[in-house]
Structure 1
């Protein structure tokens, strides 16, 4: 005997109900379930209080039990939920209201009720009260949620921050006003205070201050001014620190050396930080000597590539030769959007002239005629030479440079050099000559551009992405994975692999873009 799950029964009974309104005979023909079983399921749901009419095609022909079941089901619904219920069931709100009036009129017309009827009526009234109570609770919770949502849009600018922070008198009064408005709209005081980032006791203290002095102010500063720290240095000790620092034997030394030297003599006055603080108070902490003040280098401007030949990254790396201490220099240019190596050359020395010639040849090979191409590099002398900069200006190329000693500012070239030198085909021995080095790099570039599936661009080759062929390839992969999932869905617990095209590639992205990318990576 076949056993059917509860979900299957739900779906079958749903077909009997409006607006589907399928007959039992039709469902029997479609599903193969016997008609007695279908009648049994319908009766079970009717006994449970569900409206499963015998004649679903015309609601006016429903039995009194079915109409009463509909009235009971809709008793706890508000207007919007009732409208949704009627649309799903193929009914009108007016029909349900008329059935409700008829049911109430029938109760009144019955006169005296039997004991069973009185018990049923009592039970129905009890259920109604419970439903109304639950409805009021839900309406109250909905009103509180709406009030807190409105409050959340205003509170960050007033009381946002950590506990113990200083809140001005104006912001305190505004916070009390907003909390009062939220409570009138239906929010609880505890929830509103928690959303504002304050404690309910703090709110009561503010209200008490406002009633007492018509002003809400922070008393911590006043209390701190009246309180003297136990470890505070005396005026004599402060004068002693200044005197010691200006003695001939310490006149050119910083406090970080003066304090240990005093300890070697068996004397302790104060800590190094206290020395610095006292000297700073009398304007005796200044930079001295030839040492320059530390400079904070600004992060280079971020650029967003949405297609090939918009942003290039280039650098120079060493290739060892058979002569110790002598290297060949590989000049290499990469398109960061497609990861394609668009230009390369090998020379025996570094120079801005070689770099400018490579840039000129690469622009011709890639048919670059419009201004706006960004060329990013580090701060090496070939990158910032006069010949190189003049060539970039002539070609309309925008130069971009990394910060000094920050390799992360040029990650694409660094990653490419790592791939080049760690590929299995990289020679174990130094290159025997310039031609041998050029021959090997030529084979590497051919492999990298046309065969290597790059992990950062959905495992297509750089040349396929550069030429626009990736869209067809990725769509084909989606179809293959979709067909495989449809054929054997048990192997997939979720969606198929993400084969969507990567639309944006950032060079030195801003903080918000980097944070969003990290968040997406965690979700994935």
Structure 2
């Protein structure tokens, strides 16, 4: 790599974004580390991560469809209150439809995801909340993975444009990254095609989807 003039991205120390509320009742874990789905809008996973800026720490929430790894909603803010998660759900509802009877939405045990407002917003779209155990990243591994390569590819990658001066600057950069992730990034889980192409193949029929994954 040194001879070729390239270097790998480096992950930094973790800032704690999961703050469980011991007084709040939690929904059961309906996923049990099985981050797969038979169709879009059957399982969404969500989590928070952080990015330093010159104006302070920014927090980012992604909502990911487990079927295609499509980022269906996201929000960047200077705080990690429940409002930012609700905004991400609103974006997902705008992009994926207003009601989904068979949808589970899985998260960690952060206070944002155990709040009454979060549960009410999911109920509005027909989704059932699912929450993993406290302090175990494997219980929300897919969301953690997306957070990891977001920071590796955008924040600390060779093509990084940060550190950003403001949260708004990071938000604009994240918008571009999400579009690239959904429409151009190749995912090994999907047979090395982008999420948008994978979903197009699904809606075109099972034969097209199987062909992309190399299934006979």
TM over 0.5: yes
1:348 maps onto 2:71 in alignment: no
Q: Given that residues 374 and 400 in structure 1 are in contact (C-alpha distance below 8 angstroms), is that contact kept between their aligned partners in structure 2?
A: yes
| 1:301 equivalent in structure 2 | 30
Write out aligned runs for 1:35-114 (5 A): none
Contact 2:30 2:131 in 1 (8 A): no
Among 347, 350, 361, the residue aligned to 2:91: 361
Partner of 1:150: none
Matched, 1:321 2:53: yes
Matched residue, 2:123:
393
Distance 2:209 2:102 in 1: 30
d(CA) in 2 for partners of 1:319 and 1:409? Answer: 23
What does residue 472 of structure 1 align with?
208
* Partners of 1:343 and 1:358 within 8 A in 2: yes
Cα shift at 1:472: 3.3
Contact 1:318–1:327, Cα closer than 8 Å, also in 2:
yes
Per-residue CA deviation, residues 151-193 of structure 1 (Å, 9 max, x unaligned), is: xxxxxxxxxxxxxxxxxxxxxxxxxxxxxxxxxxxxxxxxxxx
- CA apart distance, 1:429: 3.9
C-alpha displacement of 1:427? 2.7
More strand, by proportion: 2
**In structure 2, the residue corresponding to 1:431 is in which secondary structure?**
coil
Aligned 8 A contact 1:319 1:431 in 2: no
Of 433, 444, 448, 2:181 maps to 448
* Alpha-carbon spacing, 1:426–1:332, altered in 2? closer, same or farther (3 Å): farther
The higher-RCO structure (CA 8 Å, 6+ apart) is 2
Q: How does 1:237-316 map to 2 (within 5 A)?
A: 300-302=29-31, 305-316=37-48
Shift of 1:460: 1.5
Question: Per-residue CA shift, 1:200-229, capped at 9, x if unaligned?
Answer: xxxxxxxxxxxxxxxxxxxxxxxxxxxxxx
**Cα shift at 1:394:** 2.5
Q: Supply the distance in 2 between the matched residues of 1:436 and 1:425 (Cα, whole angstroms).
A: 18
Q: Could you tell me whether the CA contact under 8 Å between 2:107 and 2:132 is conserved in 1? A: yes
| Separation (CA, whole Å) in 1 of partners of 2:161 and 2:90 | 33
Q: Give a deviation string over 1:342-395, Cα, whole Å, max 9, x none.
A: 111111101112212321331132114232211000011111122111212232
SS at match of 2:54: coil
State the alpha-carbon separation in 1 of the partners of residues 151 and 187 from structure 2: 16
CA distance in 1 between partners of 2:100 and 2:148 (Å): 32
Look up the SS of the partner of 1:468 in the other structure: helix
Determine whether 1:370 maps to 2:95: no
How many equivalent residue pairs?
180
Distance in 1 of aligned mates of 2:187 and 2:151: 16
Separation of aligned partners in 1, 2:196 and 2:158: 20
After TM superposition, give the deviation of residue 404 of structure 1 in Å: 0.6
Normalised to the residue count of structure 1, the TM-score between the two structures is 0.32
Q: Contact 1:313/1:376 (CA < 8 Å) preserved in 2?
A: yes
Matched, 1:437 2:170: yes
Which protein shows a greater Rg? Answer: 1
Q: What SS does the aligned partner of 2:74 have?
A: strand
Q: CA deviation at 1:333?
A: 0.6
**In structure 2, C-alpha distance between the alignment counterparts of 1:377 and 1:384, rounded to whole Å:** 9
TM-score normalised according to structure 2 size: 0.75
CA–CA distance in structure 2, aligned partners of residues 473 and 391 of structure 1 = 32
Superposed CA RMSD = 2.3
Measured in 2, the distance between the counterparts of 1:312 and 1:432 equals: 31
Q: Which has the higher helix share?
A: 1
Matching residue of 1:427:
160
